[in-house]
Amino acid sequence: MEKRIVITGIGVLAPNGIGKNAFWKALKEGVSGIKPVTLFNMSNLRTKLGGEISDLNPEAMLGPKGLRNLDRTTILALAASKLALEDSKLTFPIPEDDTDSYGVSLGSTLGSVRSISEFDKESLREGPRAVNPALFPNTVINSPASHIAIRFNIQGFNSTIATGFCSSLDAIYYALNMMKLYDYSVVLAGGVEEMCEQTYKGFYKLGELSGSKAGREEINCPYDRRRNGIMFGEGASLIILEELNHAKDRGAKIYAEILGYGTSFDPKSQNICNPKAEGATEAMKNCIHDAGMQGEDIDYISSTGNSTLDCDVMETRAIKNVFNKRAKEIPASAIKSMIGDSFSAGGAMNLAASIGALSESFMPPTINYEEPDRRCDLDYVPNESREAKVDKVLINSFSPTGNNSSLIIGAI
């Protein structure tokens, strides 16, 4: 019999709330975490806003020791991991006699960009001998996952998945496979992405940010006719994946079960989403098939809607392709309207929100929805959350560069 994998702990740091309870409360109340960015100088940019986690206190969350040489990505990942472990009631650091059955699977793509930039800048200005060697490990993309394992004594597999926007959902699926194929009982899985000057300005220069083009309003409004680009954000969402019998044996609280996953690469998406939505359609179909379900079984869709002209229309078409006449009956909302687009962490942030939907019986809203677009004509749960019994959630993470991933979770 195939192993069943469940979620027994959640750790989330979002622009509108730190910890699952604060995050879920903010989503339920439609509270936005979009605010003026303070992490770096914005004076020479048209845009001023982003999904910054402004109330982060690393020392209060992790203690004062061992933080000095860690970058922001690693600190976010460590804090979310600790929250997840605490929520799961697992003992940590992991005892030596149990540690080999634990693993780490983290999705992150841009996490080392700032560290690489700063390290190279110092090397060019002062010469290689002047660079602090303690900062070099931060330039390696798997550094955050490694630090999770070091701090919490996890000696099983340790992997970093970097597939852009889909990284965190893909990391969760990788963890799922490792647990089903090998003797891993518990895995910390999810995604992280920091906001830094280099990544923010990179998206700005590409014209991907809302308000980055002259004459455009800086606004975060998925599916709304006024949308003109993403609101860049940051976040970390780590969950505890646990084999069902292992969770039951220790009396763990079980939030949800991972039921299915699907992926499909769309070569016709070349920095703009394929309007025919072929890859996104296949990812959702594959996911529903993997779960052994039908379209009628889905109660709610946690969408990838990110306030770009192409992605929101593409996802709407994909949902119609998959669900046909039922497409307009299934609520599909975008939490990125409240937290921005955190790139690699986006799928895991959607997952944390979806667990809240199951646990708290509500559907998060798509806020700032005022002017409908005739091409985006589904039920996006506009502006106010909705009380509803939610049993099965489809979570989407789609990319303009071709990657498309979907995940289904269900109550147990």
User: Positive or negative CA dihedral for 245, 3, 253, 83?
Assistant: positive
- For the chain, the straight-line distance linking the first and the last C-alpha, in angstroms and rounded, comes to 18
Residue 118, pLDDT > 90, answer no
pLDDT at 122: 81
pLDDT at 1: 66
Tell me the mean pLDDT in the region 136-158: 96
Q: Quick one: pLDDT band at residue 130, thresholds 50, 70, 90?
A: confident
The CA distance from 305 to 109, in Å, is 20
Least confident of 129-138, 174-183, 387-396: 129-138
CB 158 within 8 A of CB 103: yes
- Cβ neighbors of 58 (< 8 A, separation 6 or more) are 67, 75, 79
pLDDT at 51: 98
| Six-digit token string for 328 | 């307009």
The two beta strands, 332-333 and 300-302, are: parallel
CB 171 within 8 A of CB 189: yes
Tell me the mean pLDDT in the region 350-376: 98
Tell me the mean pLDDT in the region 395-408: 97
Residue 129, pLDDT > 70, answer yes
368 or 122, which is more confident?
368
Look over the chain and give the mean of its residue pLDDT values, rounded to a whole number: 96
Query: Residue 142, CB half-sphere, CA atoms under 13 Å: how many?
Result: 11
pLDDT tens-digit profile of 264-302? 999 999 889 999 999 999 999 999 999 999 999 999 999
CATH number for the region 261-410 comes to 3.40.47.10
The CA distance from 106 to 194, in Å, is 14
The CA distance from 135 to 115, in Å, is 8
Domain locations in the chain?
A: 5-256, 261-410
CB 210 within 8 A of CB 217: yes
Residue 313, pLDDT > 80, answer yes
Tell me the mean pLDDT in the region 91-113: 96
Tell me the mean pLDDT in the region 355-382: 98
Q: What is the CA radius of gyration of the chain?
A: 20
> Please, what CATH class does the domain formed by 5-256 belong to?
alpha beta
Least confident of 106-110, 132-136, 162-166: 132-136
Range list of β-strands (E), 15-110 = 17-18, 35-36, 49-50, 102-107
Are 5-256 and 261-410 equal in CATH topology?
A: yes
The CA distance from 327 to 334, in Å, is 16
Q: Quick one: pLDDT band at residue 133, thresholds 50, 70, 90?
A: confident
CA nearest 99: which of 174, 171, 157? Answer: 157
Q: What percent of the chain has pLDDT over 70?
A: 100
Q: Quick one: pLDDT band at residue 139, thresholds 50, 70, 90?
A: very high
> Whole-prediction pTM value?
0.97
The CA distance from 78 to 149, in Å, is 9
Q: The tokens 């001023």 sit on which residue?
A: 48
